[in-house]
């Protein structure tokens, strides 16, 4: 009897954990690039393709915080990145390879991080509201301007409680935080 | 051996006098305490003060007039206020439009001409009936000859802050709210009133390289916050910049005068939000001796719920930069809704976005001094 209860509890726990999560990330890594060479990176403001107007700014901030907290690389102060972008004439968003090389020389960084928020919305599934965030991030090295790492990750924010019991889902900012954290873990982990 | 005299000195041979090193420590400690007491002591009673023209972000001259009157009434209890027309003429003569952002030397000349010791500058950020009656003001005090900001404060009140059962305590009159805000602001300056701490601070996520005591970190220059909110971004940025001054001052920070920061940025040919390059940093270091820069972004500043009881949502990000190297010392932010920490019967709700921003900023600044990393 005890064994059966334990199995039921384990299954329930697994279901709860499975409810809060996302899709498996799509990832690219350039096998010829030595990531140990990267000591300092510049994070460019993320583009925002989502309906939420402040999603790009928030994703950029979370990405910088998580990168700094991971301790693997140093990050250039965002104000300096903004000033450097303003100094380069005709720079587009996202910048071209030439502009990234120029940015690398100007900021003395080995790589530039670019990204976009592809989705940041709360979708309705029956009576349940599920926050969904999809982020795309890539690292471009500043010697040749080529992409050396890229990842796309989707994170959903409704647990089993929300799905089956109708309790409130987590705030979308929390879903985005988790999505960014997982992306950074894939980079430095 | 006598238990009461069983100290180290007694054990070494009955020496009761403190060692010279200890005496020096005591003297330094006393000097430090005296310094803190002088720094935080109320301004001298009867000192001459110039109440600078209210900086208005509301476009409502009637509200400005009410606030000005309330401020004069409050401040005249403890200060000898300069006549408004005399001050206006002096500011015109010196071609000063916004007295808060003038360089300290120019302010010194105005002080000499009017014979004032103190300048009190107030900004009216919000005074509106929709979606709720709300008033937000910030204030800063400058002292003649003092290169740092002497005081900074911030008050945001809504008509529902003190509402009890059956709508009792609801304030729908903006004049009443303005008078209350003026009294609280001047009260926190003269130390008659402390700010209320009834709302819990939100949890924030700040990365920091090391715990930082902002009270002993030297001069900090607050750079204008960037508004990334779409509608009303500029005003939100300016409001949060004033808020940062107030919260950092509360934390004991030594702050460069806003006018001096504007002057250095202007001389370096940098716009308000043009980014910080090495030239700007070296100008701020040389001109103001500011070893640290504090700035950030207003990411969200809006109402997410409307109706009878609107709910604000605010997201702020801050960063602390080491001026000589440009290194990020702390970086982080947080977001919060006005009802996130509500208790039974809706107690603990925050209705004003400015008050919510204040709670967030207090949490972020407190995080700078926390031990351990992110």
Tens of pLDDT, residues A64-83: 999 999 988 999 999 899 88
Contacts of B223 in chain A (CB under 8 A): 79
pLDDT (average), residues A56-62: 93
Tokens of B230: 């779409």
Chain B residues inside the 8 Å CB shell of A87: 277
pLDDT digits (tens, 9 = 90+) for A132-171: 999 999 999 999 999 999 999 999 886 666 666 665 667 8
CA distance B277 to chain A (A): 5
Taken in order B12, B13, B18, B24, is the CA torsion positive or negative?
Answer: negative
How far apart are the CA of B57 and the nearest CA of chain A, in angstroms? 23
Higher pLDDT, A11 or B303: B303
How far lies A75's CA from each of B107, B133, B161, B207, B295, in Å? 39, 43, 42, 12, 16
Q: Which helix (H) or strand (E) holds A104?
A: helix A97-107
Terminal-residue alpha carbon distance, chain B: 51
b/e map B335-355, b = 16+ CB within 10 Å: bbbbbbbeeeeeeebbbbbbb
Do strands B205-208 and B328-337 pair parallel, antiparallel, or not at all (unpaired)? antiparallel
Shortest distance, CA A189 to any CA of chain B (angstroms): 17
Q: What is the pLDDT of residue B161?
A: 84
| Pair of tokens at residue A175 | 């879903």
Task: Copy the structure tokens of residue B137.
Answer: 């003001």
Contacts of A171 in chain B (CB under 8 A): 335, 337
Tell me B47's DSSP state: E
B323 interfacial to chain A (CB closer than 8 Å): no
pTM of the model: 0.82
Asked if A116 and A135 touch (Cβ cutoff 8 Å), the reply is yes
Say yes or no: B327 contacts chain A, CB-CB below 8 A: yes
| Straight-line distance from the first to the last Cα atom of chain A, in angstroms, rounded to the nearest whole number | 42
Residue A182 pLDDT: 94
Tens-binned pLDDT, residue by residue, of chain B (374 aa): 333 333 333 333 344 444 566 666 666 665 555 454 445 455 556 789 999 999 999 999 999 999 999 999 999 998 999 999 999 999 999 888 887 778 888 888 899 999 999 999 999 999 999 888 999 999 999 998 788 899 999 999 998 888 777 778 888 899 999 999 999 999 999 875 555 555 555 566 788 877 788 888 889 999 999 888 877 888 999 999 999 999 999 989 999 999 899 888 887 766 555 578 888 889 899 989 999 999 999 999 988 876 677 889 999 999 999 999 999 999 989 888 887 777 666 677 888 999 999 999 999 998 887 644 45
The DSSP-derived string for B185-229 is HHHHHHTS-PPP--SPPPP-EEEESS---GGGS-EEEEPPPEE-S
Tell me if chain B has a CB within 8 Å of the CB of A86: yes
Q: Is B29 on the interface with A (CB under 8 A)?
A: no
Nearest to B315 among A54, A77, A86 (CB): A54
A/B interface, count of CB pairs below 8 Å: 80
What pLDDT does residue B38 have?
Answer: 46
Contacts of A81 in chain B (CB under 8 A): 275
**Candidate from A58, A64, A80 with C-beta closest to B299:** A58
- Cβ–Cβ of A86/B275 closer than 8 Å? yes
User: The tokens 């006098």 sit on which residue?
Assistant: B17
CA of A80, closest CA in chain B: separation in Å? 5
Question: B216-236: buried (b, 16+ CB within 10 Å) or exposed (e) per residue?
Answer: ebebbbbbbbbbbbeeebebb
pLDDT digits (tens, 9 = 90+) for A32-53: 888 888 999 999 999 999 988 8
Q: Say yes or no for a CB contact (<8 Å) between B275 and A80.
A: yes
Residues 187-246 of B with CB under 8 A from A: 205-207, 223, 228-230
Contact (Cβ atoms closer than 8 angstroms) between residue A170 and residue A131 = yes
Which residues of chain B lie closer than 8 angstroms to A86, CB-CB?
274-275
Distance CA B234, CA B250 (A): 25
Residues in CB range of A86: below 8 A, 6 or more apart: B274, B275
Q: Residue A93 has what DSSP assignment?
A: S
**The tokens 């204040």 sit on which residue?**
B358
Q: What 8-state DSSP symbol labels residue A111?
A: E
Considering only the beta carbons, identify the residue of A57, A65, A79 that sits closest to B207. A65
Nearest residue of chain B to residue A67 (CA atoms): B207
Mean pLDDT, chain A, rounded, equals: 85
Please tell me which of the candidates B326, B332, B373 has its beta carbon nearest to residue A80.
B326
Q: Tell me which residue of B259, B219, B226 sits closest to B240, measured CA to CA.
A: B226
Q: What is the pLDDT of residue B64?
A: 95
Q: Which residues of A touch B342 (CB under 8 A)?
A: none
How much is the pLDDT for B144?
86
Q: A40 to chain B: which residues are within 8 Å by CB? A: none
Cβ–Cβ under 8 Å, residues A118 and A106: no
């Amino acid at each position: 009897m005890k064994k059966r209860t334990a199995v039921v509890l384990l299954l329930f726990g697994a279901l709860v954990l499975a409810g809060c999560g996302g899709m498996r990330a799509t990832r690219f890594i350039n096998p010829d690039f030595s990531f140990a060479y990267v000591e300092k990176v510049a994070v460019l403001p993320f583009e925002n393709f989502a309906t939420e107007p402040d999603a790009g700014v928030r994703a950029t901030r979370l990405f910088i915080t998580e990168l700094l907290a991971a301790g693997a690389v140093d990050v250039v102060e965002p104000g300096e990145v903004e000033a450097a972008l303003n100094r380069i004439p005709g720079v587009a968003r996202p910048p071209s390879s030439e502009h990234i090389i120029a940015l690398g020389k100007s900021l003395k960084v080995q790589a530039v991080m670019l990204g976009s928020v592809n989705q940041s919305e709360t979708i309705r599934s029956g009576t349940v509201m599920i926050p969904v965030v999809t982020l795309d991030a890539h690292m471009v090295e500043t010697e040749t301007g080529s992409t050396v790492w890229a990842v796309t990750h989707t994170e959903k924010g409704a647990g089993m409680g929300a799905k089956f019991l109708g309790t409130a889902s987590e705030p979308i900012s929390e879903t985005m935080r988790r999505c960014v954290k997982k992306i950074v873990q894939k980079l430095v982990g | 051996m006598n238990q009461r005299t069983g100290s180290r000195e007694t054990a070494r041979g009955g020496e009761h006098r403190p060692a010279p090193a200890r005496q020096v420590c005591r003297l330094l400690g006393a000097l430090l305490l005296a310094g803190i007491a002088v720094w935080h002591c109320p301004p001298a009673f009867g000192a001459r003060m110039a109440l600078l023209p209210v900086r208005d972000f509301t476009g409502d001259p009637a509200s400005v007039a009410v606030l000005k009157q309330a401020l004069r009434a409050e401040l005249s209890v403890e200060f000898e206020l300069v006549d408004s027309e005399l001050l206006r003429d002096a500011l015109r003569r010196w071609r000063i439009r916004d007295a808060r952002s003038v360089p300290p030397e120019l302010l010194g000349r105005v002080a000499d001409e009017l014979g004032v010791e103190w300048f009190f500058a107030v900004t009216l950020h919000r005074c509106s009936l929709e979606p709720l009656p709300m008033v937000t003001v910030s204030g800063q005090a400058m002292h003649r000859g003092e290169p740092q900001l002497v005081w900074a404060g911030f008050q945001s009140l809504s008509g529902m802050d003190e509402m009890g059962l059956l709508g009792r305590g609801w304030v729908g009159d903006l004049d009443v709210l303005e008078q209350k805000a003026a009294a609280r602001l001047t009260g926190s300056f003269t130390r008659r009133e402390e700010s209320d701490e009834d709302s819990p601070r939100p949890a924030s996520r700040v990365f920091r390289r090391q715990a930082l005591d902002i009270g002993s970190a030297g001069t900090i220059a607050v750079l204008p916050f960037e508004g990334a909110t779409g509608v009303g971004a500029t005003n939100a940025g300016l409001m949060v910049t004033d808020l940062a001054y107030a919260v950092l001052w509360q934390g004991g920070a030594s702050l460069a005068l806003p006018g001096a920061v504007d002057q250095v940025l202007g001389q370096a040919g940098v716009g308000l939000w043009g980014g910080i390059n090495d030239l700007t940093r070296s100008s701020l270091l040389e001109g103001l001796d500011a070893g640290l820069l504090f700035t950030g972004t207003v990411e969200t500043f809006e109402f997410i719920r409307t109706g009878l009881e609107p709910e604000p949502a605010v997201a702020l990000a801050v960063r602390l930069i080491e001026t000589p190297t440009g290194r990020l010392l702390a970086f982080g932010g947080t977001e919060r809704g006005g009802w996130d920490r509500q208790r039974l019967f809706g107690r603990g709700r925050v209705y004003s976005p400015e008050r919510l921003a204040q709670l967030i900023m207090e949490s972020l600044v407190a995080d700078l001094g926390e031990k351990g990393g992110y």
